Amino acid sequence: MPQEEEEQKQGPSLSDLTNIAQQARGSAAQEQLIKQVGTRAAIAIAGAGIGSFLGGLVLIASVVIMAVIIVVVLFGGGAGGAVGSAEAAVPITGGNNLVPGYCKLALGEEPPEEGEEDTCSAKLKSLFEAAGAWAKVPAGVLVGIAVIEGPHIFGYSDEEIDDYSKDVYTGSPNGINGEGIDPENREPNGCSAIGPMQMSVDYMEDYGFRPSDLDCGDVTDPPCAWCTYKTAVVEAGVTTYSPNPDVRNIRNAIYGAAWKLKCDSGAPSDECDRAQFTKYDYNDSDDAWEKEDEIEKAGTAYYGDCDKPIERFGSMTYCDKIWEVYLAVSDTGTGTPGGIGGNWPTSGQITQGPYNPSGTHYGDQASAVDINNDEGTPIFSTNGGLLLKDTDEYGGIYVAITGSSYITYYVHLKSYSSCIQSAENYTFVPEGEFLGLMGATGDTHGVNHLHYMIRDEENEVLPEQEFRNLLPNPSFNVGDEVSTSYKGVNCHP
Segment among 27-36, 71-80, 204-213, 405-414 with least mean pLDDT: 27-36
Same domain (yes/no): 257, 307: yes
In a domain, 110, yes or no: yes
CA distance 302 to 131: 17
In a domain, 489, yes or no: no
Amino acid identity of residue 262, one-letter, is K
Same domain (yes/no): 411, 375: yes
Q: What are the backbone angles phi and psi of residue 442, rounded to the nearest 5°?
A: 90, -160
Same domain (yes/no): 362, 291: no
Final residue in a domain of this structure, among 331, 349, 381: 331
Amino acid identity of residue 312, one-letter, is R
- Does position 41 have pLDDT exceeding 80, yes or no? no
Same domain (yes/no): 279, 311: yes
CATH number of domain containing 58: 2.70.70.10
179 with 166: CB under 8 angstroms? yes
Tell me the residue range of the domain where 139 lies: 97-331
pLDDT in tens, 430-470: 888 999 999 999 988 899 999 999 998 788 999 999 999 89
pTM of the shown model: 0.60
CA distance 388 to 300: 35
Final residue in a domain of this structure, among 298, 315, 331: 331
Same domain (yes/no): 79, 207: no
Final residue in a domain of this structure, among 282, 309, 331: 331
Closest Cα partner for 73 from 50, 41, 39? Answer: 50
79: enclosing H helix or E strand: strand 78-79
What's the whole-number average pLDDT of the chain? Answer: 77
249 with 180: CB under 8 angstroms? yes
Q: Could you give the number of structural domains in the chain? A: 2
Percent of the chain exceeding pLDDT 70 equals 75
Closest Cα partner for 487 from 386, 375, 346? Answer: 346
In a domain, 240, yes or no: yes
In a domain, 488, yes or no: no
